[in-house]
Structure 1
Amino acid sequence: MKNRLALILFLFIFSCSQNPEFDLLILNGTIYDGTGSDPIKGDIGIKGDRIIEIGNLKSKKAATTIDAIGLAVSPGFIDMHTHLEPLMQLPQAESLVRQGVTFALGGPDGGGPWPFGPYLDSLAQFPLGLNVGYLVGHNTIREEVLGMEDRKPSQEELSRMESMVEIAMGEGAFGISTGLKYLPGTFSEVDEVIALSKKASEQGGIYTSHLREEGLGLLEAVREAIFISREANIPVILTHHKAIGVKMWGASEKTLALVDSARNIGLDIRIDQYPYAASHTGLSVLIPSWALEGNQFKERTEDPELRKKLKEGIEYNILNDRGGSDLRRIQFSRVSWKKDLEGKTLHDWAVESGLEPTVSNGAELVIEAQLRGGTGTIYHAMDEQDVENIMKHPMTMIGSDGRLSQPGEGHPHPRAYGTFPRVLGLYSREKSLFPLQTAIYKMTGLSAESLGLKDRGILEKGKVADITIFNPETVIDQSTYIDPHQYPKGIEYVIVNGIPAVENAAMTGKTRGRVIRKTEIY
């Protein structure tokens, strides 16, 4: 009888050892839960794609164990503003995942995909390295209905645009994005934007806005976004918030005061930001919008009077807006027609062309570049103090505004590789702008709440196991404006839906990312 009981006990123990309680066990970590609370020491047990238990789990068995001693265990980072256009070509999204990002919001600046649902259906067939969601783009919709025309839509056209927003929301959009600085969004009046935003609001969506101006017209543009929030009854995110141009340095104090005032009367106004003092967009942002309307730029440059007016507008923008009053502040990132310009500045190009590097000659080169197909451009026209003021605001989240990148392709803004580690390493650890738990909250819990991601962004029993594990003493960005293609240091593990996508600071090749639709969680 004793032998039989011993055998049963042995078989039971053997069975337990062969059938672990967890698929993945994270031991000895310092756990930051994503709420901004102080960290705790503990372990996390994961089964499938869910967190099953948090506590002292050292006696438990798991198929795979990670020893996180000395490491911070955080919710996976949420990128509130990402250019995911190359995702089908780069489905592992290594430049983001190696930053610790497990969810990225695409379709910013008015440029969301269309047709919306079919695009998401196609994307879902790819082996994605991270989770993605999308906004429907106002510029995309306007161009579909009105082309590049500078006019108000008819009532019939507006109704069609409203219907398109409704369709996209029903197909899983998280909200609507605008790019009111860009064509054709710049041609829209506020009533049009409000009408479309109401359709997003009716289905629980948010509004993210590349403001109409980020330079001299910044304050008016922030007021416009707040007005849209009030009239459309919609949460608004001032995306990649900044103050552009030397004349606007210091304006963040006023814009943040406007945000606080709006929140004090009950409006849900939030901010996202990348941690750099340089922006990135097309060279065409230096060109007056009227000159680009209707895709007639070339014809307008051939008219002497229009060309004179066009050049004056470019000179004004070089002096007062993104040009930062200096051709050295305008740096080329992607130049398909002259690859040797990538990484160089407008000043360099002028000198190389045998021209004096004046604003006038710079404007002529901008015209030439646009005629040849334009460029991706980095603008060194922001003040570091504004960057820090905005980052410290309690409603500021982190969004890279980076385009998915891979080594050897172009000369991207360093935010494509370094945004999240830079916040952790430079601004939290080295500059002590805020404690580590606050930095993590800005890129996890606050972001998840803003998007309505009920089961992500916080480390808690029952939540999805999107987890980033990093070394708080060494985490830092390495990408620079001169040498951008560098992955960060200190991001040791990235777990996406329960599966390690990064292990020992290297990609595993395992992909369990998903296309997430707002309709699945609302």
Structure 2
Amino acid sequence: MQDLVIRDADVVDGSGGPSYRADVVVDDGRIVAIVQEAAAAGCQRPNAMRELDAEGLVLSPGFIDMHAHSDLALLRDPDHSAKAAQGVTLEVLGQDGLSYAPVDDRTLAGVRRAVAGWNGHGDDVDFDWRSVGEYLDRLDRGVDGRGIAVNAAYLVPQGTVRALAVGWEDRAATPRELERMRRLVAEGMEQGAVGMSSGLTYPPGMYAGDAELTELCRVVASYGGYFCPHHRSYGAGALDAYADMVEVARNSGCPLHLAHATLNFGVNEGCAPRLLSLLDGASAAGVDLTLDTYPYTSGCTTLAALLPSWAADGGPDALLARLTDDTTAARIRHELEAVGSDGCHGVPVDWDAVEISGVTAAHLADHVGRTVRESADLRGEAPWTTARRLLVEDRLAPTILQHVGHEENVRAIMRHRAHTGGSDGILHGAKPHPRAYGTFPHYLGHYVREAGALSLEECVAHLTSRPAARLRLPDRGLVREGHRADLVLFDPRTVAAGSTYAAPRTLPTGIPHVLIDGRFVIEDGRRTDILAGRAIRRSPV
């Protein structure tokens, strides 16, 4: 007898096609039968050891978060309801060119400092890996050898690779260093990575020229992977930066997945049609491309990311030294406030739009939840003075929200046929962006039910089968016989993100059941103690 039958569900199968009513039978972690209502008339209905009445609920494939920053969270937090409660059954890690493999001891120390704002310092994690394969093995073991909360795939982080082969200096790689980077990327792909990410506004990845990226992308393409860049500008140069990444993909033959493909700041208001026209033209010319977005108008990054790239030359210690030098700090301030540094994407910083969302030093906690200007006004000082002190005293770790987006751009981009969902969820910090806890129910509740920006069937396809196709996962992303039973049951009338800017860690409503490999990780709206997640490795070419 089979393990489970889900009765009378409204199946939205991830294909984008119309929903249908059916019983879905699960056994040994896979979907073994789908009996549609019409076919069941006059026939004996399937039996199983357990029955779940899904009357009034939609059954869909599990959601795939194409842009996640849970690289350490999955190892330190067995509950991980931030994602599991949203219906996320798979996350893609190693984003923005900076993560924790491949490394040596020196590189690991630098990376831990560089991304402390994303994941904390990691003092509570045993970094008992160095290669990509060892990190994936650690994900398989997970918490106390029991696995992890949700499945996870990994991108080779180009910035980490550059730190390992070249260092943190702003210079071109030598031929020998480039060959070492090619080998490191190849090794990561052979060990199971699904592609390569870049963070081209973060050191040291930002110091790579297009020719260097193209060479590394050729390696990725040879293994059937994809290139996922956080490109060089999201402000004044955004459209040119998107076009630049399209050219890297065209010249390398590597599939392209544009990370958090937003258009922010005043200079880009109403520019989504221009971006989509660029992407359509590239697709027509043969470039294999997809993108992801989060359904919010504000962004989230580190405060240090606003600084000009030259200031970070040499790594975190060099940046801190420049910030503590009054003359150099004055130059940084001028570029931020008067010119618009490359870190600010060519737009002079608006301290009213920069909100402190997290710090690691306890004595700085009262800054969290205030804009930099508000915090400065309380202290009777200039905003730059406050920002500089935060950077120095918290060792570059503060995270920020930037309220710089445009609703019409968000809606236009999410409708595009190449679009997928990605939370870009930074879980660390006292007041994280609500997207970390709310991206997927916010798509379903707000943009489908309330705004009508997408049909339910289309939205589910964006969150399931499209990302599964990009990841080359032939048995996930659809409700199909033989597919993995990564499934979500939600109420289309009530599903909603509970998280807000004021209360960002509130869990969603209207998602009573989530299964990974046929095992309930959310049951009757509550997190179970099941750790069904594992590392998802690249499928062979």
> TM-score with structure 2 length normalisation?
0.88
Matched, 1:120 2:140: no
Matched, 1:46 2:26: yes
Distance 2:529 2:336 in 1: 46
4+ runs deviating over 6 angstroms: none
Identify the residue that residue 57 of structure 2 maps to in structure 1. Answer: 71
Residue deviations 1:279-302 (CA, integer Å, cap 9, x gap): 111001211010121132243345
Amino acid at match of 2:8: N
Residue deviations 1:134-170 (CA, integer Å, cap 9, x gap): 0000001001112110001110000000000000000
Q: 1:328 aligns with which of 352, 371, 380?
A: 352
Unaligned ranges ≥5, structure 1 = 1-20, 356-360
8 Å CA contact 2:237, 2:346 repeated in 1:
no
SS of the residue corresponding to residue 331 of structure 2 reads helix
Identify the residue that residue 344 of structure 1 maps to in structure 2. Answer: 370
Distance 1:214 1:403 in 2: 18
Q: 1:271 aligns with which of 279, 282, 291?
A: 291
Structure 1 residue 225: Cα displacement: 0.6
Matched, 1:239 2:259: yes
Amino acid at match of 1:440: V
8 Å CA contact 2:324, 2:392 repeated in 1:
no
Amino acid at match of 1:55: V
Distance 2:521 2:330 in 1: 54
Distance 2:280 2:255 in 1: 14
Q: 1:385 to 1:440 in 2, by over 3 A?
A: same
SS of the residue corresponding to residue 76 of structure 2 reads coil
Q: In the TM superposition, what are the counterparts of 1:72-471 in structure 2 within 5 Å?
A: 72-85=58-71, 86-112=73-99, 113-114=101-102, 115-126=131-142, 127-294=147-314, 295-301=317-323, 303-315=325-337, 316-317=339-340, 321=345, 326-337=350-361, 338-355=364-381, 361-372=382-393, 373-374=395-396, 375-404=398-427, 410-471=430-491
Distance 1:493 1:302 in 2: 52
Identify the residue that residue 17 of structure 1 maps to in structure 2. Answer: none
Amino acid at match of 2:352: R
Amino acid at match of 1:351: D
SS of the residue corresponding to residue 202 of structure 2 reads coil
Identify the residue that residue 32 of structure 1 maps to in structure 2. Answer: 12
Residue deviations 1:15-51 (CA, integer Å, cap 9, x gap): xxxxxx2101100100011000000000100001110
**Does 284-293 or 436-445 show the bigger shift?**
284-293
Unaligned ranges ≥5, structure 2 = 103-130
Structure 1 residue 198: Cα displacement: 0.7
Distance 1:303 1:476 in 2: 48
8 Å CA contact 1:329, 1:381 repeated in 2:
yes
Distance 1:281 1:302 in 2: 22
8 Å CA contact 1:246, 1:320 repeated in 2:
no
Larger radius of gyration: 1
Structure 1 residue 327: Cα displacement: 2.3
Q: 1:512 to 1:302 in 2, by over 3 A?
A: closer
Structure 1 residue 341: Cα displacement: 1.7
Structure 1 residue 305: Cα displacement: 4.2
Q: 1:362 to 1:272 in 2, by over 3 A?
A: same
Amino acid at match of 1:91: P
8 Å CA contact 1:87, 1:404 repeated in 2:
no
Amino acid at match of 2:439: T
Identify the residue that residue 62 of structure 1 maps to in structure 2. Answer: 48
Distance 1:302 1:414 in 2: 33
Matched pairs, number? 493
8 Å CA contact 1:322, 1:381 repeated in 2:
no
Identify the residue that residue 11 of structure 1 maps to in structure 2. Answer: none
Structure 1 residue 253: Cα displacement: 1.8
8 Å CA contact 1:311, 1:364 repeated in 2:
no
> TM-score with structure 1 length normalisation?
0.91
Identify the residue that residue 358 of structure 1 maps to in structure 2. Answer: none
Q: 1:304 to 1:403 in 2, by over 3 A?
A: closer
Distance 1:194 1:446 in 2: 25
Identity across the alignment (%): 33
Structure 1 residue 369: Cα displacement: 1.7
Amino acid at match of 1:476: A
SS of the residue corresponding to residue 391 of structure 2 reads helix
8 Å CA contact 1:245, 1:324 repeated in 2:
no
Q: 1:324 to 1:426 in 2, by over 3 A?
A: farther
Amino acid at match of 2:466: L
8 Å CA contact 2:323, 2:392 repeated in 1:
no
SS of the residue corresponding to residue 296 of structure 1 reads helix
Identify the residue that residue 22 of structure 1 maps to in structure 2. Answer: 2
Amino acid at match of 2:379: S
Distance 1:162 1:156 in 2: 10
8 Å CA contact 1:474, 1:489 repeated in 2:
yes
Give the root-mean-square deviation of aligned CA atoms: 1.7
**Does 307-316 or 209-218 show the bigger shift?**
307-316
SS of the residue corresponding to residue 74 of structure 2 reads coil
Structure 1 residue 389: Cα displacement: 1.0
Amino acid at match of 1:311: R
